[in-house]
Amino acid sequence: MNAIKISFFDTKSYDKEIFNIVNKNFAFEIKYHKYHLTQETAVLAKGYDTVCVFVNDEINKEVIDQLYEEGIRLIALRCAGYNNVDFKTAYGKVHIVRVPAYSPYAVAEHTVALMLSLNRKIHRAYFRTRDANFSLHGLMGFDMNKKIAGIIGTGKIGKVLINILLGFGMKVYGYDVYKDPSLLNKPNFEYVELDKLFANSDIISLNCPLTKETEYIINYSSLGKMKDGVMLINTGRGKLIKTTDLVDALKSGKVSAAGLDVYEEESEYFFEDRSDAILTDDILARLLTFNNVIVTSHQAFFTREAMQNIAQTTLQNISDFFNGKSLQNEICYKCSRGSENCLRKATGKCF
């Protein structure tokens, strides 16, 4: 049997390094492209068996139709999110697989790093001392012990984050459509409705996927329900937050600090070096002017362990498909959920 050929889009140097190491166990033929997958670049899949894509690649109707005409029957996402996929078009044409869990520790730990940095103003202190300014004015934080953290999304990442914050002596509120049985009797943790989480949390962290139900879950209305001076952290998806409403809340002081690893219009900027260009996104530019906001470039996942897991799972997904095995990480076409959360599994039907 000839080697399976993979057309690999949006390649960075670290992708190539890690995937080449892991691919020694699979012996696939991988062609790395620096370009994003778009309608214009989909032609690069011609002659290949599958494509491997990332969060900012376009998997819309036009791209799927073109890939299908080129003989592609599998699209392998090397990420957990799949809000960039047109499932209506994909249904009956191509299978979509993903990496549901690469390292929940990586994202949870980055989330805590943002919390601690914002609370203790580490980013401001760093620049200050480099200028030989050793004053403490404006750097006062608060004890996280006995404060309340609200975690929206208690999946693999949220669960790790909850355990870390409980270790700080915090009271933790959780909200999720799917309640994790292992959390129900955990001391100092409680599942609550969103309004109670908003009203009582000193820190709110978004660790849920982007769906129709969660899009702009943080907006003018929900911000108004929060404590004055709440800290907001988003390591989930950019469109969980209506950014213009967040800017207003930062200006008014309703939100005392924000840590953002994602941004709703990030595709033009994140993962790329734009330091020589003018920043034309006025909202992003405004966010970067706040000294109580930290923006990181979708790097929460970015640890060596996570990258190795991503490569291993992605290539295993491809191997399983071409060897006729069950696809454990296929996304359900009917309810557009990962196989582990498909409504068919819970109710017997998902449509």
- Greatest alpha-carbon span in the chain: 68
> Pick the catalytic residue: 237, 264, 330, 337?
237
How large is the average pLDDT for residues 272-285?
88
Query: Is residue 188 over pLDDT 90?
Result: yes
Q: What is the pLDDT of residue 342?
A: 46
Helix (H) or strand (E) holding 255: strand 255-260
Q: Rounded distance, CA 261 to CA 86, Å? A: 25
pLDDT tens-digit profile of 211-249?
889 999 999 999 999 999 999 999 999 999 999 999 999
Are the C-beta atoms of residues 263 and 227 closer than 8 Å to each other?
A: no
Mean pLDDT for the stretch of residues 175-197: 97
Each residue's pLDDT tens digit, 101-160: 889 999 999 999 999 999 999 999 999 999 999 999 999 999 999 999 999 999 999 999
**Tell me, what's the pLDDT at 1?**
60
pTM summary value: 0.86
Domains located in the chain, CATH noted:
5-102+303-347 (3.40.50.720), 104-295 (3.40.50.720)
Q: Is 123 a catalytic residue?
A: no
| CA nearest to 67, candidates 48, 89, 42 | 42
Residue with tokens 């078009």: 89
Q: Which residue of the set 58, 98, 264, 266 is catalytic?
A: 266
Query: Which residue of the set 58, 298, 330, 337 is catalytic?
Result: 298
> What percent of the chain clears pLDDT 90, i.e. is strictly above it?
84
Q: Clarify whether 266 is annotated catalytic.
A: yes
Transcribe 90-122 into DSSP letters.
HTTT-EEE--S-S-HHHHHHHHHHHHHHHHTTH
- Averaged pLDDT for residues 153-178: 97
Q: Is 298 a catalytic residue?
A: yes
